[in-house]
Amino acid sequence: MLFKQQALLRQKLFVLGSLAIGSLLYLVARVGSLDRLQPLCPIDGRFGPRGQDEIPLRAMQFKRGLLHEFRKGNATKEQIRLHNLVQQLPKAIIIGVRKGGTRALLEMLNLHPAVVKASQEIHFFDNDENYAKGIEWYRKKMPFSYPHQITIEKSPAYFITEEVPERIYKMNSSIKLLIIVREPTTRAISDYTQVLEGKERKNKTYYKFEKLAIDPNTCEVNTKYKAVRTSIYTKHLERWLKYFPIEQFHIVDGDRLITEPLPELQLVEKFLNLPPRISQYNLYFNATRGFYCLRFNIVFNKCLAGSKGRIHPEVDTSVITKLRKFFHPFNQKFYQITGRTFKWP
Higher-pLDDT residue of 14, 149: 149
Q: What is the pLDDT of residues 88-131, one digit of tens each?
A: 999 999 999 999 999 999 999 999 999 999 989 999 999 999 99
Q: Measured between alpha carbons, how far is residue 165 from residues 93, 162, 170, 261, 285 in Å?
A: 12, 7, 9, 28, 36
* Structural domain boundaries enclosing 214: 75-336
Question: How confident is the model over 334-342, as a mean pLDDT?
Answer: 97
Q: What total number of domains does the chain contain?
A: 1
Q: Is residue 109 part of a domain?
A: yes
Q: Is residue 221 part of a domain?
A: yes
Per-residue pLDDT for 37 more than 50? no
Give residue 66's Cα distance to chain centre. 19
Summarize the chain as % helix, strand, coil (round to 5).
50, 10, 40
Annotated binding residues, written as ranges, equal 99-103, 182, 190, 292, 308-312
Q: Is residue 242 part of a domain?
A: yes
Q: Is residue 8 part of a domain?
A: no
Q: Is residue 60 part of a domain?
A: no
Question: How confident is the model over 316-337, as a mean pLDDT?
Answer: 98
If you average pLDDT over every residue of the chain, what do you get?
A: 83
Question: How confident is the model over 317-322, as a mean pLDDT?
Answer: 98
Mind giving me the DSSP string for 52-105?
TT---HHHHHHHHTHHHHHHTT---HHHHHHTT-EEPPPSEEEEE-TTSSHHHH
Q: Is residue 64 part of a domain?
A: no
Q: Is residue 17 part of a domain?
A: no
Residue 304: what pLDDT?
83
Q: What is the pLDDT of residues 260-318, one digit of tens each?
A: 999 999 999 999 999 999 999 999 998 887 789 999 988 788 888 765 667 889 999 99
Residue 298: what pLDDT?
82
Q: Is residue 241 part of a domain?
A: yes
Mind giving me the DSSP string for 186-246?
HHHHHHHHHHHHHHHHTT-----HHHHHB-TTT-SB-TTSHHHHHT-HHHHHHHHTTTS-G
Q: Which residues are catalytic?
A: 99
Supply the CATH number for residue 323's domain.
3.40.50.300
Per-residue pLDDT for 66 more than 90? no
Annotated binding residues for 3'-phosphoadenylyl sulfate, written as ranges, equal 99-103, 182, 190, 292, 308-312
Tell me the pTM. 0.78
